[in-house]
Amino acid sequence: MSSPLRRAVERRSTGPLTWLATRPRWVPFVLVLALLLAGLFAPPVAAAACLVLLLLGLLWLTYLAWPKLDTGGRLIRLLVVVLVGYVLVQRLV
């Protein structure tokens, strides 16, 4: 049984996920890489904006994938989210 929140998020995510699935496989990778590099090397305000977008996207995808992930997959996703959050905090300080 899934919660009403999960069903709502999954329903609202159908459009963006369909769009991502119809792009070449390298597009999401390049998008994530561009946001990460901009977050690391851009001026602080632009870097923070890029890292926030990246963090929100990672959190969204992690939330959607969580029920299907095994323990190792969950740990890796959480580690990536924590690392991006750490970089964001460091860029803001």
pLDDT along the chain (93 residues), means of 10: 90 94 94 96 95 97 95 96 96 90
CA distance 12 to 25: 22
The pLDDT value given to residue 10:
95
The pLDDT value given to residue 2:
82
Q: Find tokens 């299907």 and name the residue.
A: 68
The pLDDT value given to residue 11:
95
Give the amino acid at 56: L
The pLDDT value given to residue 42:
95
pTM above 0.85, yes or no: yes
Rounded to 5°, the CA angle 63-67-29 comes to: 50
The pLDDT value given to residue 87:
95
